[in-house]
Amino acid sequence: MDQILKHHSLNELRNQGLPYDEKLFLDISVNMSAIERRCATAVKRRTVKKESQVAWLLKAISCIDLTTLSGDDTPGRVRRLCAKAKSPIKRDLVDSLDIEELNLNVGAVCVYHDMITHAKAALAESEIPIAAVSTGFPAGLTPFKLKVLEIHESVAAGADEIDVVISRKHVLNGDWKKLYDEVKEYKAACGSSHLKTILATGELGTLRNVAKASWVCMMAGADFIKTSTGKESINATLPVTLVMLRAIRDFYELTGQRIGYKPAGGISKAKDSINYLILVKEELGRNWLTPNLFRFGASSLLADIERQLEFYATGNYSAFNRHGIA
């Protein structure tokens, strides 16, 4: 269902943004201890077992941006990734779980610009979107002109989604208007492609900065806000997630516009993915549990989920070598 929805609603989901308004975010309060307590208990207040657990793990798969972002990426490597994206779990598992009708694949494939055309070729027959990281990923310190140009090039090459990195210096120096203007230009450059803004939360210093940066990006038109590049020393965490989800909720209440959320980096266990889904469902609601509005930026998560699914199907604990690598 979510897969079908995806392309229908792409344009409706696009965030029109808001004029720059400091009143909306400058006085924001974030209490770190309370945020941590909520995260610690939220995942203890809810759990999913048996069939529900399987369903939730499948949901997690459908929300994965299957990612390869390495200097040694090659067309061959990207083809292998795309093959996995199209059939993320073994055929016999699909049968034994009786989920043929879900036509399960991952949320997107995420690559560097250079790999877009190879991914596009590999995914030709599917509806899986291609996300390209951009704007001098991961540090974002290349000339601004080139950053905008990179977006144009990626869109032209066929990227459906552009994952940009914001200038951390604007956040750290409190130059919120500069951040707004930067993201607004990126948005314009994206055209009809979706804009995902990577905050690099591990480099922003405080949760208040995370909240403010989330607001500025959403005001400037980001369709998704994303935690990390995966290259910072601290990537996605539940506390950062909670702060960003609450910003998304307040933005929705103000504008009626649903912004997507993407935690990235460090999420490699099936149990972790369920915890993220629980937090999203509790803070934002069922509507956000769709690849349109929620993604995991992850490379090794899928393999762990596969093992859990096989355990459910067979009753035996599984091993990595029994599942095709991405």
Partner 1 sequence: MRGQDLSIAKKFKEMGYGEALESDAAALEWLEKNKRKFGHFINGKFTKPSNTFKTTNPANGKFLAEISKGNLSDIKLAVTSAVAAQKRWSSLNSHERAKYLYALARVIQKNSRLLAVLETLENGKSIRETRDIDVPLVVRHFYHHAGWAEILHEEFKDYEPVGVAGQIIPWNFPLLMLSWKIAPALAAGNSVILKPAETTSLTAIYFAKLCEMIGLPKGVVNIVTGDGETGEHLISQDKIGKIAFTGSTEVGKRIRKKTAGKGKKLTLELGGKSPFIIFDDADIDSAVEGLVDAIWLNQGEVCCAGSRLLVQESVSEKVKRKIVARMKKLRVGNPLDKSVDMGAIINQSQLKKISQMVSESEKEGAKVFQTNIKCDVKGCFYPPTLITDTEPSMEIVREEVFGPVLVFLTFRTPKEAVEIANNTQYGLAASIWTENINLALDMAPKIKAGVIWINSSNMFDAAVGFGGYRESGYGREGGKEGIFEYLKPKGHNSPKKVNQLKESRKVKTLGKAANSSIDQTRKFYIGGKQVRPDGGYSSKLIDKNGNFVTEVGLGNRKDIRDAVESANLSSSWSTTTSHNRSQVMYYLAENLSKRKAEFSEKLELFLEPKDAEIEVNLAIERLFYYAAWTDKLDGAVHQAPIRANTLAINEPLGVIGAISSETEPFLSFITILGLALSQGNRVIIIPSKANPLACLDFYQVIDTSDVPGGVVNIISGSPGELGKVLSEHSGVDAIWHFGSKRFFAEVESLSISNLKQTYVSDGESMDWSNTQSPALKELLRRSVQVKNIWIPYGE
Please, what is the Cα angle at 297 between 280 and 253, to 5 degrees? Answer: 35
Of these, 12, 19, 49, 233, which contacts partner 1 (CB under 8 A)? 49
For the bound state, the minimum distance from the C-beta of residue 31 to partner 1, rounded and expressed in Å, comes to 4
Strands (E), the chain: 64-67, 108-111, 130-134, 161-165, 194-198, 224-226, 260-262, 296-298
- What is the closest distance, in whole angstroms, from the C-beta atom of residue 239 to partner 1 in the complex? 10
Q: How many residues does the chain have?
A: 326
Q: Which of 147, 262, 272, 304 is catalytic?
A: 262
- From the list 190, 191, 208, the residue with the least C-alpha distance to 199 is 208
The interface mask with partner 1, positions 228-247, x = CB under 8 A, is ------------------x-
DSSP for 39-93, please give it.
HHHHHHH----HHHHHHHHHHHHHTEEEE---TT--HHHHHHHHHHHHS-S-HHH
Binding flag, residue 34, partner 1 (CB under 8 A): yes
Site string for partner 1, 74-113 (x = CB under 8 A): -----------------------xxx-xx-----------
Tokens for 274? 């369920």
**Binding flag, residue 168, partner 1 (CB under 8 A):** no
Check binding of 9 to partner 1 (CB under 8 A).
no
Q: Count of residues binding partner 1 (CB under 8 A)?
A: 41
Please identify which of the residues 187, 223, 226, 304 carries the catalytic annotation.
Answer: 226
Task: Check binding of 21 to partner 1 (CB under 8 A).
Answer: no
Burial class for 213, CB neighbours closer than 10 Å (0-12, 13-18, 19+): buried
Question: Tokens 């409190």 — which residue?
Answer: 174
Asked if 227 and 264 count as a contact pair (C-beta separation under 8 A), the reply is: yes
Separation between Cα atoms, residue 323 and residue 313, nearest integer Å: 14
DSSP state for residue 308 in the 8-state scheme = H
Rule CB under 8 A: is residue 203 a binding residue for partner 1?
A: no
Q: Which of 9, 52, 173, 314 binds partner 1 (CB under 8 A)?
A: 52
Q: Which is nearer to partner 1, 2 or 73 (CB)?
A: 2
Q: Name the segment binding partner 1 (CB under 8 A); options: 10-18, 116-124, 260-268, 277-285.
A: 277-285
- Rounded CA-CA distance 309/161 in Å is 29
User: Any contact of residue 26 with partner 1 (CB under 8 A)?
Assistant: no
What is the secondary structure of 229-262 as a DSSP string? -S-SSS---HHHHHHHHHHHHHHHHHHSPPPEEE
Instruction: Specify the stretch interacting with partner 1 by CB under 8 A; choose among 55-63, 108-116, 138-146, 212-220.
Output: 55-63
Q: Encoding tokens for residue 80?
A: 């292998």
41 scored as a contact of partner 1 (CB under 8 A): yes
Q: Of the listed pieces 27-35, 126-134, 158-166, 171-179, which binds partner 1 according to CB under 8 A?
A: 27-35
Q: 95 catalytic, yes or no?
A: no
Q: Looking at the annotation, which residues are catalytic?
A: 163, 226, 262
Binding site for partner 1 (CB under 8 A): 1, 27, 29-38, 41, 44-52, 54-56, 58-59, 97-99, 101-102, 206-208, 246, 277, 281-282, 286, 289
